[in-house]
Amino acid sequence: MENKEFFAALTDLVREKGISEEAFIETLQNALASAYKKQYDGGADVTVSLDAEKGTIEFKATRYVVEEVVDKDKEVSLEDAQALNPNYQVGDTIERIFIPKDFGRIAAQTARQVILQKLHEAERDNTLSAFSDKEGELMEGVIRKIDERNVYVELGEKKIEGVMPPQDRVASERYNIGDRIKVFVKRVKSSGKSSQIVVSRSAPGLVKKLFEEQVPEIAQGLVEIKEIAREAGHRTKMAIVSNDSHVDAVGACVGNRGARVNAVVEELGGEKIDIIVWNEDPLAFIYKALSPATVISVTAKGERSAIAIVPDDKLSLAIGRDGQNARLAARLTGWKIDVKSASSPEAAELLAQMESEEAEEE
């Protein structure tokens, strides 16, 4: 079946839209074979071969030589097969090239569907490719759809859809269709039908990017965010360090009268943010990480494990509601932290030991 005009149009289309001709032809071959089987209620085992150079479409039916025919569309008896060629044996296959009757309309319709499908996939993949450099970035979008599981956010000028799954939402936030929100682009995944952009409001990266947006010193590299531990909607602890002795890292992040940190807090719906100066000494870092609680001492008690002693009246503050403050401090520092009040037996013993060691040194 020759159709050179069809193949010429196909070549122009794949070149213009950036579609892989090989992938397109493979999809069209499978679609035509499937369409044939649907039209003829199953029919023979049919494969379709498209030759772009020759401009031909070839249908090939395969039948199997058997002792007893059960399915006449797919099988042929040994007797009938040997009438065609005496060498045929049971188990052999007989292939026949043919042109289906009245198949032109179905073929044209199928080709149209495949073309539309491939155009859609190409446009989606091209758009996703353009978004590949947005992974790990902050973007503003509009909520366009909400279902039982996901929130769908329209992003960028090309209005591509980002998906925000349950684990990337903040429980205390309410999402409504038409709302403009800032999201962190968590992952850009392009792989056929499963292509998607995953966005987040709960990722620690959102806090990092919001501070980069508010604090020029971070964007310039003068202040560096070293670590972030976050329980979205409740509290974030962020460790920072100044790379310039003339720049106060905490002051830069807080801003004049708290303007910079307050802008981030407002965007996060009132989430508390502790800004802590990072220290390469892990015990000194733990000391600061338990902020806003006052800490008397921090002592290592094993591999990446420490005891922090706090005044009795600061114990609940150091631990936090449901253990949140101590838990975030542990995640921020990467150490297991056991918080003890100064009057506890273990703390009293440690403090006495420290006093004794100091006396000996004197």
CATH of the domain at 332: 3.30.300.20
pLDDT (tens digit per residue) in 59-73: 888 889 999 888 887
Q: Are 304 and 272 a contacting pair, CB within 8 Å? A: no
Residues 10 and 126 in one domain: yes
Asked whether the beta carbons of 228 and 319 are under 8 A apart, the reply is no
Same domain flag for 312 and 338: yes
What pLDDT was estimated at residue 317?
95
If asked whether residues 126 and 27 sit together in one domain, one would say yes
Q: Could you say which of 230, 255, 278 is where a domain stops?
A: 278
Token pair, residue 308, equals 């922090």
What is the count of structural domains for the chain? 4
70 DSSP 8-state letter:
S
Q: Report the alpha-carbon angle 89-87-70, nearest 5.
A: 35
Taking the CB of residue 15, how many other CB atoms lie within 10 A of it?
A: 10
> For 188-212, how does the pLDDT look when each residue is reduced to its tens digit (9 = 90+)?
876 555 568 899 999 999 999 999 9
Q: Tens digits of per-residue pLDDT, 5-64?
A: 667 767 776 676 666 677 777 777 877 777 777 776 556 688 888 877 777 778 888 889
Closest CA relative to residue 307, chosen from 317, 293, 297: 297
Phi-psi region of 238 (alpha: psi -120 to 50; beta: other; left: phi over 0): beta
Based on C-alpha coordinates, what's the Rg of the chain? 34
Contact 293/314 with Cβ under 8 angstroms? yes
Structure confidence by residue, pLDDT tens digits, 90-129: 999 988 887 776 666 666 677 667 667 766 776 666 666 6
14 and 124 part of one domain = yes
Please say whether the beta carbons of 291 and 306 come within 8 A: no
Q: What is the domain-level CATH number for residue 13?
A: 3.30.1480.10
- Tell me: do 89 and 15 sit in the same domain: yes
Instruction: Report the C-alpha gap between 312 and 316 in whole angstroms.
Output: 8
Here the tokens at position 327 are 């838990």
| 3-state SS, residue 225 | strand
Return the sign of the alpha-carbon dihedral for residues 316, 319, 320, 321: negative
pLDDT at position 33 is 78
Same domain, 21 and 120: yes
Are the C-beta atoms of residues 62 and 47 closer than 8 Å to each other? yes
Tokens linked to 128:
């996703």
Q: Considering only CA atoms, which of 258, 308, 262, 311 is closest in space to residue 284?
A: 308
Last residue of a domain, one of 181, 200, 219: 200
What does the alpha-carbon distance between residue 196 and residue 174 come to, in Å, rounded to a whole number?
23
CA distance between the termini of the chain: 102
Q: What backbone phi and psi angles, to 5 degrees, belong to 241? A: -145, 145
Does residue 319 share a domain with residue 215? no
Tell me which residue has tokens 């006449």.
72
Query: φ and ψ at 45, to 5 degrees?
Result: -75, 110
Do 192 and 217 share a domain, yes or no? Answer: no
Q: Annotate 286-331 with DSSP letters as a single string.
A: HHHHTTTS--SEEEEEETTEEEEEE-GGGHHHHH-GGGHHHHHHHH
**Are 89 and 111 part of one and the same domain?**
yes
Beta bridge partners of 164: 151
Pair (332, 227) in one structural domain? no
Torsion of CA 83, 86, 90, 93, to 10 degrees: -80
- Helices (DSSP H) in the chain: which residue ranges? 4-17, 21-39, 78-84, 104-131, 204-214, 216-219, 249-254, 259-267, 282-289, 315-319, 324-333, 345-361
Which domain, by its residues, includes 305?
Answer: 285-362
pLDDT at 314: 94
Amino acid type, 192? G
| pLDDT given at position 322 | 93
Q: What percent of the chain has pLDDT over 90?
A: 52
256, 278, 300 — which closes off a domain?
278
Q: Are residues 36 and 120 in the same domain?
A: yes
